[in-house]
Every structure is written in C-alpha cells, then in structure tokens.
Structure 1
Amino acid sequence: MSKYQEIAAVLRNRIKNKTYPPDSLLPNQIDLVAEFGVSRMTIKKAIGILAMEGLVYAQRGSGTKVLNHPFVDKDTTTLTIYEGLSKEMAKAGRKLTSDVIDFQVAFPNKTIQEKLMLKEEQPIYSIVRLRILEDQPFILEHTYMPVHLVPNLKRSHLETSIYDYVKGDLGVQFAGAYRTISADKSSALDQKYLHCHDDDPVLEIQQIIYQKDGQPIEFSRSRNRYDMRAYSFLDIQN
C-alpha cells in the first residue's frame, strides 16, 4: 500500500468514528504534512481518494469539509468513475480478489448485439466473476466483450484486472461510459455467490464502455447486494 493510501485509510477511519464529524473541516494540508511527515502532494492524493468516495469536498480557499451524509456504512462508488473496480480498490488500499465462475467465447444474442453494436456472427467473451472484497462476497459481474477488440484475453487477466490488460497491454483508450441503475429480485446465482436470501433485492448496474472512436468495448451487468454497496453522484454548483 502506498503512503497516500495509508493516509487516506487513517483519515477515512477518523471520519467514520466522528473524530472529524459531519460539517467539520479536515486539518489543513500544512498540519497534515507535519503529522504524517510527507509531501503536500501526498496529502492531496489522500484527500482526492476521500473526495472520490464522497466523504469530503475540497474547495480552494475554504478547506476540506466532511460531508454531512457521506454514506460511510456502505461501500460507495461515484457514478462518474469507470476506471475499474480493481484500480478503485487499489487506490483505497483495500484487498480485492476475483473468482472466475464462467469464461467462454460465444456468439452474441440480440441484446448483446445491440449493446455492443455487433453482428450475430461476431464472437464475444462471456464472463462471470465474483468480486471478493476483503474476503467477503461483494459484486457478481456479468461481462461481455468483443473478441476482435480484446484479443488473447486470458483467465489470468480475469483473476487480476481486465482493464489493466485492455488499457495497459492493448493500449485501448476509453472515451466514456453509459450506466443505468435498477432494482431486481435476487437470482439463483445471486443467492449462491452473494449469499442473498430469495426475497432480498439486488442493485444492478448496467454499463457500456466506449472507445475513443465510439465503438462499445464492454457491456456489463454488476449485481450488488442491497446492504453492501451504494453509488453516489456529487453535484456541486459553481
């Protein structure tokens, strides 16, 4: 874990235990630099993680304020972030692993053809992964990617980070994402892998990731236990 991630973890815990109560200000950056013995840039990175999580809001000249409703009882992701769960949790210094439940090459059905702008004869990867956060079942992901856009995808990539391979090794650049959020009843797979009850609701995030040329490269459905994860959108009026 990097130093700024360690500092973010300390500050996060202080927010959760009300050492820094809602509507209060974090200590200024000069004081935090002195406390942790690091550079100001390191402190900025740590505060940036907390801002991404919706815990604080930093405004030039006004300090960094602890938000009044930071949703600290659930893992919260900002809706505008789509860099991948692995990178998100690595930044927060949290242990994330992936259990590959299914990985195969198939031909897309009509829904997948529409989402990924494919023809019926263009093969896709069909992937089901259980994302495990700090040894607890977290998200059940159903992911579909065109084979011709993501060549040579291997199980080892699925067990670590698909995006590291796509963006790092293949050099693909993402232009944006389209997301929809809906509630659903838990399925048999949800009950098996997320330990849901048959009457538990599930939060599903459908996501399409676009390349710079406008071609969709991923369609995914992330199944979240209602009591384990939330998504936030911070709208600041300037």
Structure 2
Amino acid sequence: MADFVYRTVMHDIKQNILDNKYEGMRLPDERSLAEYYHVSRSSMKRAMELLSQQGIVFKKRGSGTFINPLYLKNQSLFRYEGSNLGLTDSLKVPGKKLGIKLLDFHVVEATAEIAQDLFLNKNEFVYEFHRLRLIDQQPFLLETGYVPIKIVPELKAEHLKSSLFNYLEDTQNKVVTKAFLNITVEPSSIEDQKLLKLQTTEPVGVMAGIFFLDDGTPFEFSTMRIHYQYMRFNTFVNLNQ
C-alpha cells in the first residue's frame, strides 16, 4: 500500500510543477509536504528521491529542493553514469587527439533565462565563452557556455583552452557531479556550416545542459552544437547515487 502512496504523491507533485504551483522554483520541505499529503515521512522521502532520480528536482545543500529548469522546458531527460562530466575527459576517442580553440570570452550581465537556469539574482554577471572542439584538428563541436563570476572569480581565457571542470577541481576543490541535458537535432546554421564544415543540407546535433556542483549549486549552462557524425552522446551523469 505504501508503494502506491508515494507514487501517487510523486505524480501529484509532478503535475503541480507543470502547473507552476511552487513559487521561486522551490518545493516546500519534506515535513511540510508529508503533512500536506497526510503521508509518513518515509513515503514522502521516497517520492522526493524518485523525483530527484528522474531529474525533475535537485537538492541544494542547506537551501532546499528546487525544480530543474530544463525539465520545465523539455520534460524529457536522459541519464547516464560515469566518472567525469567534462567533455575533455568523457569524449575520448581512441587514437585521436582532442583540442580546444577559444573563439570568444567576455563578461556579460545574465539574461533572465540564464539567471533562472543558474539560479542567479537580477543584475548578476556571468562569463560567456565560445569554444570550438577538435579531433585531430577537425572541428566537431561548437560550445557556448555561461558560468557565474562569483563561483570562479579568477577565471581567465587560458583556463578555457583546456578542461574547465578540471581547473575548478584543481584550484577550488569543487567537483561537478550532476548534469541535466536535453538532446535534439536541427538544421545546421550558417555558423555551424562554417565552423563545423557542414554542407547546407546536413543537420547538427544540439545538447543544452545545466551542470551542478556536488553541493547542488548550478555551475554552468552550456549549449553544444555537434557535427552529426559525432552525435553519440545519449546518457546522463550522476555521481551522487
């Protein structure tokens, strides 16, 4: 019977999320939810665990449980397990050499959408960067990323010519342990065709994702446009499970 209880609660919370019934993208605490649904704390905890495992919500240590913005946008997530979330380490190709070419790097005020995705306040600033990734000097991925200045205030252009996640771990002992990604395919743009060497009739793979630190803090929002021949990324990483 308890099995049906927590699943019923989980489905109701999912619907409330879709109906925008939680202010500030934040859910009430487990005790309040348990009292509201008249269920035990253990049933409520199980329901929240399932929502977290599905990528619908995430917990930020010391702050509470929040709704994943990408779930609201797409309601379709992928999940994978691995040892490193950075593309530098996770997209290894046997016998091939990976490279990064930094195209642009500057500071901008976060747009309303970026601020929501990274849980920033109004008027906060982020680093915006564009990088081209290569395999044996052949371009295969065009990346646009946004990182809050307050998390890595000393970030410089040279740090973005290699793994950003490794730099974060080496300098601040912070680890990116979770990512929520949306994966699609669309017609290539003029920029895609120029930088990724695509024909006008060839598509491009697109991954949009939010990457989280191990304490639940959103660290980066990134959009990656991938040459269709290399579009093999189809899993989700969570190192906390």
* Root mean square deviation of aligned Cα: 2.1
Given the alignment, which residue of 188, 191, 208 partners 1:189?
A: 191
**1:120 has 2:146 as partner:** no
Given the alignment, which residue of 98, 102, 105 partners 1:103?
A: 105
Judged with a 3 Å threshold, the aligned counterparts in structure 2 of structure 1 residues 79 and 94 are, in CA distance, closer, same or farther, namely: farther
Give 1:96's aligned amino acid. Answer: L
Once structures 1 and 2 are overlaid, which stretch shifts more, 131-140 or 83-92?
83-92
Judged with a 3 Å threshold, the aligned counterparts in structure 2 of structure 1 residues 80 and 154 are, in CA distance, closer, same or farther, namely: same
Distance in 1 between the 2:127 and 2:98 partners?
A: 22
Q: Which has the higher helix share?
A: 2
Distance in 2 between the 1:188 and 1:220 partners?
A: 20
Given the alignment, which residue of 161, 164, 172 partners 1:162?
A: 164
Partner in structure 2 of residue 84 of structure 1: 86
Q: CA deviation at 1:201?
A: 1.4
**1:134 has 2:171 as partner:** no
Give 2:114's aligned amino acid. Answer: I
TM-score of the two chains, using structure 1 as the length reference = 0.61
Q: CA deviation at 1:101?
A: 0.8
> What's the secondary structure of 1:86's corresponding residue?
helix
Structure 2: which 5+ runs fail to align? Answer: 1-78, 237-241
Q: CA deviation at 1:93?
A: 5.6
Q: CA deviation at 1:80?
A: 3.8
2:147/2:221 contact within 8 Å kept:
yes
Q: CA deviation at 1:90?
A: 5.7
Structure 1: which 5+ runs fail to align? Answer: 1-77
Percent of paired sites with the same residue: 31
Given the alignment, which residue of 221, 224, 232 partners 2:223?
A: 221
**How many aligned positions are there?**
157
Give 1:139's aligned amino acid. Answer: L
> What's the secondary structure of 1:220's corresponding residue?
strand
**1:178 has 2:203 as partner:** no
Distance in 2 between the 1:90 and 1:144 partners?
A: 23
Distance in 1 between the 2:115 and 2:235 partners?
A: 30
Give 2:220's aligned amino acid. Answer: E
1:107/1:123 contact within 8 Å kept:
yes
Q: CA deviation at 1:203?
A: 0.8
Q: CA deviation at 1:104?
A: 0.5
Q: CA deviation at 1:86?
A: 1.5
Give 1:135's aligned amino acid. Answer: Q
Q: CA deviation at 1:227?
A: 1.9
TM-score of the two chains, using structure 2 as the length reference = 0.60
> What's the secondary structure of 2:89's corresponding residue?
helix
CA deviations on 1:138-166 (whole Å, 9 max, x unpaired) are: 10011110010112111111112111111
> What's the secondary structure of 1:209's corresponding residue?
strand
